[in-house]
């Protein structure tokens, strides 16, 4: 909780979390999505790489401003779909045409019989593709994660569903508390706060 101020390199900042724990990030709130996009682009141009934006809904241009790489989720879904096609056709063609070659209703035992195998192939492709998409989205998003250091900031916890936040992590090679604080202030950041991780429980 940010109930007191502490001095960081000459700057008096509200503190969220425990001072006994390491500094996680310097965070700030922005009033508009445009201001957040501008701030993200500025930090990217300044050489920062370990910072994160938090928005209540997708913001156009934010991914480009942060220069986020293209997600591999589409490739994972494609791989799941191709795998499903191979599995479905193997399970249909091998027994029907090789192991138990029975002619049913005059249907051929070669590639001309493919239309009868399409419904099951499509159904399995959709199912495995959907499962891959959901599982990939969860895993690539870093979930399941029961907690995030940002939640020690009471303002973030209350306003994450309606405000725009940017947090610059302390592990960034370009990070200095004074530099980040001044840059956030110049970019119009509000409620600039030093966010510490939660203190470890004492036995």
What span, in angstroms and rounded, lies between the C-alpha atoms of 194 and 188? 17
Dig out the tokens for 125 from the structure.
């492709």
Residue 121, pLDDT > 90, answer yes
Give mean pLDDT, residues 74-96: 92
Residue 157, pLDDT > 80, answer no
Name the pLDDT band for 101 (thresholds 50, 70, 90): confident
> Mean pLDDT across the chain, nearest whole number?
85
In this predicted structure, which of 4-8, 42-46, 154-158, 173-177 has the lowest mean pLDDT? Answer: 4-8
pLDDT in tens, 181-198: 999 999 999 999 999 887
Q: Which residues pair with 196 in a beta bridge?
A: 23
Residue 2, pLDDT > 70, answer no
Residues of the chain above pLDDT 90, percent = 42
pLDDT in tens, 162-173: 889 999 999 999
Dig out the tokens for 60 from the structure.
């156009």
Residue 201, pLDDT > 70, answer no
Residue 53 near residue 150, CB atoms below 8 Å:
no
61 Ramachandran zone, left/alpha/beta (phi>0; psi -120 to 50)? left
> What's residue 199's pLDDT?
53
> What's residue 8's pLDDT?
61
Residue 50 near residue 174, CB atoms below 8 Å:
no
pLDDT in tens, 33-67: 999 999 999 999 998 989 999 999 889 999 888 88
Residue 178, pLDDT > 80, answer yes
């Amino acid at each position: 909780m940010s109930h007191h101020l502490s001095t960081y390199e000459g700057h008096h900042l509200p503190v969220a979390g425990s001072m006994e724990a390491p500094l996680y990030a310097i965070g700030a709130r922005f009033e508009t999505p445009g201001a957040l996009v501008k701030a993200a682009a500025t930090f990217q141009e300044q050489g920062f790489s370990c910072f994160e934006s938090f928005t209540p809904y997708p913001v156009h241009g934010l991914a480009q401003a942060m220069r986020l790489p293209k997600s591999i989720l589409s490739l994972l879904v494609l791989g799941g779909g191709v795998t499903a096609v191979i599995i479905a056709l193997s399970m249909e063609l091998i027994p029907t045409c090789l192991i138990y070659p029975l002619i049913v209703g005059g249907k051929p035992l070669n590639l001309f019989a493919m239309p009868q195998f399409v419904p099951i192939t499509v159904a399995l492709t959709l199912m495995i593709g959907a499962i891959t998409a959901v599982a990939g989205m969860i895993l690539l998003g870093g979930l399941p994660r029961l907690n995030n250091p940002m939640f020690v900031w009471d303002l973030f916890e209350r306003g994450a569903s309606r405000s725009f936040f940017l947090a610059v992590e302390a592990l960034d090679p370009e990070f200095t508390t004074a530099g980040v604080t001044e840059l956030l202030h110049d970019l119009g950041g509000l409620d600039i706060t030093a966010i510490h991780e939660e203190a470890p429980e004492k036995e």
